[in-house]
Every structure is written in structure tokens, then in C-alpha cells.
Amino acid sequence: MGGILVYALHDGEGNFNKNSLGALSEATSLASDLGAEAAAVVVGNVSDDQAQSLGNYGVTKVYRASDVPEGLAQPIVDVMAKIIQDDGFSYALFGGGLLGFEIGAGLTARLDAGVTMEVTSVKVADGKLVSERPILGDSQIADVGYVSEPGIIIGRLNAFDVKESGGTAEVVDVNVELSEWSTRAEMITRGEQRGEDVDIEAADVLIGGGRGLGSAEGFDACEELAGAFPNGAVAATRAVVDAGWYPYAAQIGQTGKTVAPKLYLAVGVSGAIQHKVGMQNSEAIIAINKDANAPIFEFSDLGVVGDLNKIMPKLTEALKARKG
Amino acid sequence: MKICVLVKEVPDAAVQKRIDPQTMRLDRSGENNLNPFDTHAIEAAVRFKEGDELPVDEVVAVTMGPDSAQRALQKAVALGADRSVHLCDDALLGSDVCATGKALAKVLESENPDLVLLGQQSDDGECYTIGAVVAEHLKMPSLTQVVGIEVEGDKLKCERQAEYGYDTVALTMPAVISVGDAINEPRYPSLKAIMGAKKKPLDTKAIGDVGIDAAEVGDTGSKTTVIALNEPPAKEAGEIIEDEDTAETVEKIVAWLDERKLI
Ligand SMILES: Cc1cc2nc3c(=O)[nH]c(=O)nc-3n(C[C@H](O)[C@H](O)[C@H](O)COP(=O)(O)OP(=O)(O)OC[C@H]3O[C@@H](n4cnc5c(N)ncnc54)[C@H](O)[C@@H]3O)c2cc1C
Ligand SMILES: Cc1cc2nc3c(=O)[nH]c(=O)nc-3n(C[C@H](O)[C@H](O)[C@H](O)COP(=O)(O)OP(=O)(O)OC[C@H]3O[C@@H](n4cnc5c(N)ncnc54)[C@H](O)[C@@H]3O)c2cc1C
């Protein structure tokens, strides 16, 4: 039985992503059940100390490809494919996010491997890993196994808890020749912050605005509604951030923030899984949406089927009147 | 140059999607439609053809799917594709991402495109991995979830959001790009385009026509296997208010908030 190789994503300066650290912890515990080892792979600018520190999440070995840039999938596919083949890993595991999807997909093609994604939990059955993969808007959970090795597992955002075990890891530097096509993508800028640096994490109440608002101006009404609550702020979906209607710092979800306010009031938000994963632990969820079949109603405590343009202003007015 | 757009037929948004417990596959017997996310990829391709930044001769819609998937291709053509290719073969049934990626790459190879565009995700499988799988087989650079593309010579400067914010990445063509739904506002097809779509060339291919080995696709070629389907933990259903009288609706919302001491 080969081990589990985990990709540890970082910001370019060796500050690791929380979802990757969770994946390391998960791999460590799964590997011990399998009687195998878990290892990490890092690329780019990662110091000895930073690489060794991954041992704190249970892995004993960290492969480091310093010459390979962080942030683009295909060069990392080259690195991971080589390590998996040379050292006989049975699985590759990724924490939730975006790059792990691209790298995992690339490995699927390169190594002729099975892949599961949006995985919320992994279990061991007969000495093999089985992924729990929610499907069809989380209405069912499929247990998916692999018919060959390696198996590629891509986690859902926040699926794996970070567990610190206090160890330190051995760092092994690797040199990998990149495929020709992996060198035909060039990072020009990475991690640009678009829009104001708003703080949404301290708010008790978040008004989550989506494409149903119709335009950037629609967010004025959200801000008014947020102002009618004690300690309210405004959050957004990727669709509206991509459209430039609201700052990236306010985005909730798979490639944004994870929040758990006392109240999340979603207006004109469909409730895509990639948004849900960032706000489903809110204490109370209210949704206003004109489509009675919108997925958001499946996980709202109070669902209001109607036109936000009619309801929001009146709600703001009523709350302001109460506040006096 | 040639742009191929990958499009998929998926159950219509109004259909309650379910897995057939016999086959462990998605029940596709209800109303189907073109994957809504793919309309953005078609629109992006058609805008390149209409514009003068890229010398696009042809936009070709490509799908793999059952007989009915022809209708998705016709929609793609109504939205501006010049012709379409349908990979249709019983041997493909039950293909997972690994097998689907291989099969699609083979059809694409037979078209030899300079650019391949896809949607951000399919509305049924929601695997959002096909783009990167196909790119690797075609030995092309790729990027997913792209919301802006600028042409700079033989390079495409692409913008997309990743874990730390927005990345700008230059890809040298030929390349594979999956586009996010914020990249454009797809047009509605004109009646003339809808009527004309059936007359545009539609090439149906079996696996042998594009050199796909039956053992590499379908159930036999798939590397994942669904062992069981389980229900998620039961969750208390939320309360629903239909907004008929808005004053009353607002009163109810306020009372609900009040009860939970949220105001
Ligand atoms: C890899 C990946 C990562 C992603 N990461 C994220 C992420 O981090 N965060 C995120 O949010 N998304 C993310 N997405 C995108 C996600 O899949 C959805 O596309 C997005 O969340 C949809 O945003 P929305 O709800 O604003 O828009 P839509 O899905 O278009 O929904 C708009 C809703 O508004 C309703 N509406 C319209 N008009 C009105 C009205 N007048 N009154 C009331 N309701 C109205 C409609 O019924 C609809 O339900 C990601 C996707 C992928 C593939
Ligand atoms: C509910 C469900 C869950 C599944 N889970 C898994 C899983 O965990 N692992 C696994 O290996 N397989 C899985 N599959 C099978 C997988 O969905 C199919 O192999 C599918 O053809 C490719 O994935 P996708 O449609 O989700 O692609 P995505 O990667 O989400 O699609 C992105 C884009 O690729 C293009 N595209 C996708 N399929 C086609 C096609 N057939 N023809 C042309 N263009 C296409 C479209 O442009 C689409 O917008 C699942 C299927 C279902 C129905």
C-alpha cells in the first residue's frame, strides 16, 4: 500500500492555506488507518522552517519543488505525477478551493486515475479509501470508490478539520522537468484584491447580495438594510464580485470567505453549493428569492418567495421604524 | 483559426434530478436542455468570431451524449456556432470524468482546434474538472473559471478568481479555457437562427470514427465506482412565506426575527 500525497497551497510566501492544512491532518489519520504514510508537496518560495512546520499536521515528509511557480496547476501536475509514480503513492488529496480541482483533474488525465470532488468525508473500507461525495444539490451522498490506483480526492471547502500534532517533517527537494505545455501559461499577477477592503467577519448580521439585485446599485439597498440591524454588514456571491458590483473582500464561498454570523439574510442569491459552503454554519438563514425552486430554500430557516425589490425596502423601513 | 466549444445536455432546471438506483446513473428521461453555463462559452466564441482580434473562421460545438443531445447542439448552433459534432455511442454510457475527458479529447483532436472553450460547470454532474482533463490530453495550457479574456498576439490574457483573489494568466494558444458565468451576457437566439440551426452541418460520430477504444470509456473505462447512495442527515425544513401582501410578509419576517432576538 502506497501513501497519500497532499498538495499544500500557499500564498506565494509560504503561508499555507487552511484547507490544505485540514487535508494534511485528514491524510495523516487516513494513512495511519491504511498502515501507510502521508506526505506533503509544496512548490515555489517555501523556507526550510515553513516546509518543516507541516509536520505539525502529521506528515513526516515534505517534497519541495522550489523552481516550480505556485499558483498554476499544470506545472504542479508535473511535480505530483512524478512523485506519485516514483514513490508509489496510492492517493492524492486536495483541500477545498480552486487550484486543487485543476491539479486533481490534470492528474486524472496524466495518471489515468479516478477522481472524486466536493468530498465531505473519506473513510477506509477493506484497506482502500472511499469518498463521501454529496451530489445533486446535496440531496444525496454517494460513496465512491476507486477501481485502480492512484485515486484522486478533492475535498469540499472546510470539509477537513485542522489538527495539530506537534511534529516536524523531513524536507526533500525535488527537481522536475516541466512538460512543454505546462510552460505555456504564465502568471502575470496573482491574488489581486478587487474593490475596497471591507470587513465582514466581525458582523453579527450579514445581508448576502446576489445577481438577483440586478445591478451594482442594488447593493445600496442591501447596505441600507444592513444598517437597520445592530452590527450588520453586506456580503456577496462570486457572480456579483466577478461582475464588479461589490468588493472581493465581501465574497462568501469556495474562493472567498467562510462566515458564521447570527443571521445571514440572502437576497437574490440562488444558493449554489460553492456559496453555501461559505455560510451554511450561520446560526439563522433567511432567503428572499422570487424562484420557489431556488436551492437556497433547501437550507434556509425562513424562506420568502417574492420580489426583493418589493420586500427589501419595506423590510428596511420596518426595521428602522422599530429602532426609532 | 478554429474554436471548439464543448457543450452538454443536462436535465432542465425545473426537473427534480434523481439517480436511477438500478443503474446508479442520472435519470435523463425528463425534459433536457443545453447546460446553461455553456451558453457563456458559446457567446465568448461567437464574440471572438464577430470581433477582429482573432481571425476566427469557424466555431464548432462539440458534445458527447445520447441521441437527444442533438438538441443541445442545435441550441448551440442557434446561439451562433457554425456547425456541430456529436459523439454518440452506447459504449460511452456510464463514463466518469476520467473516461469522458479521454473521449472528448479524441473528438477534439479530430477537429484540431486553436482554442477550446467550456462552461464553468455542468448543471448535473457539477464536477468542474473536464476542462483541465481535456487540456492535459491535448497537451495544451489551460485555465478554468475565466471571466475576462484579452488577446495579445498568440497569447490570451485571462483573468479569474482563485483562493487569494484575482489572477491574471497569459496562455499561449492552442489552449483550453473554461469560462465563468460573469464573462458575458449570452444573447437570445433569433427566430431565424433557431429555424436555421437544423440546416447547419451536424456530424455524428461513433467511438471508432475518432479512434476511441471501447475499453477506455464507459463503465469499463471508468476509474471510479459508486458503491452506495445515502440520504443526507435529516434536517428540519425551513418555514416558507409566499409574498402576496408585502406589508404582511414584512410583519411576519420582523416577528420571526423578534422571536429569535435578532433585532
Ligand atoms: C470552482 C468554482 C468556485 C466558485 N466559488 C464561488 C464562491 O466562492 N462564492 C460564490 O458565491 N459562488 C462561487 N461559485 C459560483 C457559483 O457556482 C454560482 O454561480 C454563484 O454563487 C451564483 O451567484 P448568484 O446566486 O448571485 O447568482 P444566480 O445563481 O444567478 O442567482 C440569482 C438568483 O436571484 C434570484 N432573483 C432574480 N431576480 C430576483 C428578484 N427580483 N427578487 C428575488 N430574487 C430574484 C433568481 O431567482 C436566482 O435564484 C463558484 C463556482 C465554481 C465552479
Ligand atoms: C450527480 C453526478 C455526480 C458525478 N460525480 C462524479 C465523480 O465524483 N467523479 C467522476 O469521475 N465522475 C462523476 N460524474 C460523471 C461526470 O459528471 C461525467 O463524466 C461528465 O460527463 C463530466 O463531468 P461534468 O459534466 O460534471 O463536467 P464539468 O467539468 O462540470 O463540466 C464543465 C464543462 O465541460 C463540458 N462538458 C462536460 N461534459 C461534457 C460532455 N459530455 N460533452 C461535451 N462537453 C462536456 C461543458 O462545457 C461543461 O460546462 C458524476 C455525474 C453525475 C450526474
Q: Is the CB of A115 under 6 A from ligand 2?
A: yes
Partners of residue B105 in chain A, C-beta under 8 Å: 109
Please tell me if residue B222 touches chain A, with a CB cutoff of 8 Å.
Answer: yes
What is the pLDDT, as a whole number, of residue A234? 98
What is the pLDDT, as a whole number, of residue A207? 98
What is the pLDDT, as a whole number, of residue A324? 72
Alpha-carbon span A324 to A81, nearest angstrom: 63
Output the average pLDDT for chain A: 97
Residue A190 maps to a domain: no
Please tell me if residue A172 touches chain B, with a CB cutoff of 8 Å.
Answer: no
Please tell me if residue A321 touches chain B, with a CB cutoff of 8 Å.
Answer: no
Write the pLDDT tens digit of every residue in A241-256: 999 999 999 999 999 9
Residue A288 maps to a domain: yes
pTM value > 0.95: yes
**A58 and A162 co-located in one domain:** yes
Residue A191 maps to a domain: no
**A144 and A216 co-located in one domain:** no
* For the CA of B26, the nearest atom of ligand 2: 53
What is the pLDDT, as a whole number, of residue A323? 80
**A214 and A315 co-located in one domain:** yes
Q: Are strands A232-236 and A205-209 parallel, antiparallel or unpaired?
A: parallel
**A114 and A30 co-located in one domain:** yes
What is the pLDDT, as a whole number, of residue B14? 87
How many structural domains compose chain A? 2
Residues 55-114 of B with CB under 8 A from A: 96-98, 101-102, 105
Residue A189 maps to a domain: no
Residue A199 maps to a domain: no
**A180 and A213 co-located in one domain:** no
**A12 and A135 co-located in one domain:** yes
**A58 and A138 co-located in one domain:** yes
What is the pLDDT, as a whole number, of residue A36? 97
Q: Is the CB of B80 under 6 A from ligand 2?
A: no
Percent of chain A scoring above 70 in pLDDT: 100
Q: Is the CB of A156 under 6 A from ligand 2?
A: no
Write the pLDDT tens digit of every residue in B195-210: 999 999 999 999 999 9
Distance between Cα A60 and ligand 2 center (Å): 35
Between the alpha carbon of residue B127 and those of residues A149, A155, A273, the distances in Å are 20, 12, 12
Pick the ligand that lies closest to the CA of residue B222.
2
Which range has the worst mean pLDDT, B93-97, B122-126, B231-235?
A: B231-235
List the domain boundaries for chain B. Answer: 2-221
Write the pLDDT tens digit of every residue in B17-38: 999 988 889 999 999 999 999 9
Query: pLDDT band at B85, cuts 50/70/90?
Result: very high
Query: pLDDT band at B113, cuts 50/70/90?
Result: very high
Query: pLDDT band at B109, cuts 50/70/90?
Result: very high
User: Residue A117 burial (CB < 10 Å; 0-12/13-18/19+)?
Assistant: buried
What is the pLDDT, as a whole number, of residue B234? 87
CATH number of the domain bearing residue A15: 3.40.50.620
Write the pLDDT tens digit of every residue in B46-55: 999 999 999 9
CATH number of the domain bearing residue A273: 3.40.50.1220
Residue A41 maps to a domain: yes
Question: Would residue A174 be called left, alpha or beta, if left means φ above 0 and alpha means ψ between -120 and 50 degrees?
Answer: beta
φ, ψ at B56 (rounded to 5°): -85, 120
Write the pLDDT tens digit of every residue in A224-241: 999 999 999 999 999 999
ipTM, 2 decimals?
0.97
**A96 and A221 co-located in one domain:** no
Q: Are B205 and B107 in contact (CB under 8 A)?
A: yes
**A166 and A41 co-located in one domain:** yes
Average pLDDT of the residues in A296-322: 97
Percent of chain B scoring above 90 in pLDDT: 94
Write the pLDDT tens digit of every residue in B214-227: 999 999 999 999 99
Residue indicated by cell numbers 445577481: A211
What is the pLDDT, as a whole number, of residue B235? 85
Between the alpha carbon of residue B41 and those of residues A260, B1, B37, B115, the distances in Å are 34, 17, 7, 11
Distance between Cα B223 and ligand 2 center (Å): 14
Alpha-carbon span B163 to A71, nearest angstrom: 9
Residue A215 maps to a domain: yes
Pick the ligand that lies closest to the CA of residue A101.
1
For A156, which DSSP code?
P
Residue A197 maps to a domain: no
**A48 and A157 co-located in one domain:** yes
Partners of residue A11 in chain B, C-beta under 8 Å: 164
**A162 and A281 co-located in one domain:** no
Structural domain harbouring A77? 4-184
Partners of residue A140 in chain B, C-beta under 8 Å: 19, 229-232
- pLDDT for residue A1 is more than 80: no
B2-221 to CATH, choices 2.30.30.60, 3.60.15.10, 3.40.50.620, 3.40.1350.10: 3.40.50.620
Write the pLDDT tens digit of every residue in A2-11: 999 999 999 9
**A80 and A221 co-located in one domain:** no
* For the CA of A136, the nearest atom of ligand 2: 1
Computed over its alpha carbons, how large is the radius of gyration of chain B? 21
Write the pLDDT tens digit of every residue in A85-119: 999 999 999 999 999 999 999 999 999 999 999 99
Q: Are A302 and B253 within 8 A, CB to CB?
A: yes
